[in-house]
Amino acid sequence: MVTKIKKLLSISLLFLLVFSMFPTSFQAKNFSISAQGAILIEQESGRVLYGKNEHTQMRIASITKIMTAILAIESGKLEEEVTVSNNASGTEGSSLYLKPGEKLPLEDLVYGLMLRSGNDSAVAIAEYVGGSLEGFIYLMNEKAKEIGMSRTVFNNPHGLDDHEEHYSTAYDMAILTQYAMKNETFREVSSTKSYRAPQEEEEWDRIWQNKNRLLTQLYKHSTGGKTGYTKRAKRTLVSTATKDEMDLIVVTLNAPSDWNDHMNLFNWAFDSFEVKQLVEEGLVKGIKDEFYRDKVYAPYSFEYPLSANEADAVKKDITLYRPPQNHEWSTSGFPQPIGKITISVSGNHIGHVPLHYITPEGDEDEKKGFFQKFKEIFFFTIGVKQID
């Protein structure tokens, strides 16, 4: 019985999650995109503002290294020294020219990976963080599953065309970048234009310049990203930009004119959309029911990018439990959440915010057992009477 209830609970929560994350996509009208695959999303909400073959699996080249970098950062080993193996030193393609046996901090390898796109750095990181190249590839694919990259397969840490089963999609790479940009260290690395790394037993330091020309030369709103190229993948690029408190991510795959693609998409989005606060954290005003008036609050705000036309098409519906008969909640405990605000634009559901009740003596939720909590979540999911 308990197993069946847990299964139903999982399905209910999944139902809510899927619909709360469902994106609305728009097409840019006044310019063309050279990329075979492309996507533009707003970073905080994940809303897809533009897409072109965004779910088509393609080769991705060195933007693979975003995954390598975030795994290295999350390992907590950035201050530890890595000994470069013969295998890492001999990796083909773009290189930091690491020498077999030399030691340098993992942090320096991450900067060399992201700025200079060192393939030798990618292998050195993988061997150290994953215990072996194979172990790190396993970590890459597990992380991809964890964050929802459902159409991605990794088989190396650098993106070279040394394996047929190494590919992703523009959408999946945007999801990865959205995840990575939540990490302060990754943001710092990605936005660095130049980095100096002391070299063991040498009088001169290595100095790496960022290959991302959007960041270093072309686009004043650029906040970082990662370049990529192989003969089979062609030009790939991930970039981020911020203006007027709106953070954007663009991914292009096989794009002959990627710099222009990214700048055109960024400029179009900054001109066409604005992040609006649709639900404010704190006490919810306007509830007429006497039981709930001035007693219900939103635990966090809800913001979403909207075009000028959409701003007038926003609808917010408040759903609450029917008020209790007599004083039953005083003894059994107040259900938390007590309800939700559902937000839609032009009839399309874009999200919801749970609502909590300010109890007389604090939150009584801890006093309730599993079955009571399940019943509340179940009825909350299927909907209950709306209070005007």
- Tens digits of residue pLDDT in 75-85: 999 999 999 99
HEC sequence for the chain? CHHHHHHHHHHHHHHHHHHHCCCCCCCCCCCCCCCCEEEEEECCCCCEEEEECCCCCECCHHHHHHHHHHHHHHCCCCCCEEECCHHHHCCCCCCCCCCCCCEEEHHHHHHHHHHHCCHHHHHHHHHHHHCCHHHHHHHHHHHHHHCCCCCCECCCCCCCCCCCCCEECHHHHHHHHHHHCCCHHHHHHHCCCEEEECCCCCCCCEEEECCCHHHHHHCCCEEEEEEEEECCCEEEEEEEEEECCEEEEEEEECCCCHHHHHHHHHHHHHHHEEEEEEECCEECCCCCCCCCCCCEEECCCEEEEEECCHHHHEEEEEEECCCCCCCHHHHHCCCCCCEEEEEEECCEEEEEEEEEECCECECCHHHCCHHHHHHHHHHHHHCCCCCC
Catalytic residues: 62, 65, 117
State mean pLDDT over 98-111.
97
pTM of the entire predicted model = 0.84
- Tens digits of residue pLDDT in 350-388: 999 999 998 765 544 443 444 454 455 444 444 444 443
- Tens digits of residue pLDDT in 279-293: 999 999 989 999 999
Query: Could you count the other beta carbons within 10 Å of the beta carbon of residue 149?
Result: 23
Query: Looking at domain 31-272, does it have CATH number 3.40.710.10?
Result: yes
Domain ranges in the chain are 2-19+280-382, 31-272
- Fold classification of 2-19+280-382 (topology level): Spermidine Synthase; Chain: A, domain 2 (2.30.140)
Tokens of 346: 């032009």
Sorting pLDDT into bands at 50, 70 and 90, what band is 29? low
More confident residue, 21 or 112: 112
Tell whether the model's pLDDT for residue 195 goes beyond 90. yes
